[in-house]
């Protein structure tokens, strides 16, 4: 299962902090919990303080369960220790279903 997560940040500085400090740790921590980050991008518009992440879960996994396990871990606490999460002004998640001819399955 694949999900597309979009995070809107309060400012360009919040975006910089989120992508340079938070996400590098977050990618590694999620991997420990069976969640694979396939890619992370930023919105290229000057006023687009958004981060988009493509996240994959193992076949047959329950994404909510894996996320819950991660949220109750030391890794979660450490990932979030140095970033003010109130700087994320909105989040949006879409579960994606690939078409048979998609290069990414």
Full set of structural domains in the chain with CATH: 2-95 (3.30.70.100)
> Could you state, in chain order, the average pLDDT of each consecutive group of 10 residues for the chain (105 residues)?
96 95 94 95 92 95 93 92 94 94 85
Q: What is the pLDDT of residue 47?
A: 86
CA–chain centroid gap for 32, Å, is 14
Q: What is the pLDDT of residue 58?
A: 94
How far is residue 10's CA from residue 12's CA, in Å, rounded to a whole number? 7
What is the number of H-type helices and E-type strands within the chain? 4, 4
How far is residue 14's CA from residue 103's CA, in Å, rounded to a whole number? 33
Q: What is the pLDDT of residue 62?
A: 94
Q: What is the pLDDT of residue 80?
A: 87
How far is residue 7's CA from residue 93's CA, in Å, rounded to a whole number? 9
Q: What is the pLDDT of residue 22?
A: 92
């Amino acid at each position: 299962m694949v999900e597309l997560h979009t995070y809107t940040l309060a400012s360009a500085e919040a975006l910089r902090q989120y992508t340079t400090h938070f996400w590098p740790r977050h990618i590694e921590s999620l991997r420990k919990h069976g969640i694979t980050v396939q890619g992370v991008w930023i919105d290229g518009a000057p006023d687009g303080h958004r981060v988009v992440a493509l996240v994959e879960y193992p076949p047959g996994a329950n994404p909510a369960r894996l996320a819950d396990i991660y949220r109750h871990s030391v890794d979660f606490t450490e990932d979030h220790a140095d970033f003010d999460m109130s700087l994320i002004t909105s989040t949006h998640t879409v579960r994606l279903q690939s078409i048979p001819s998609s290069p990414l399955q």
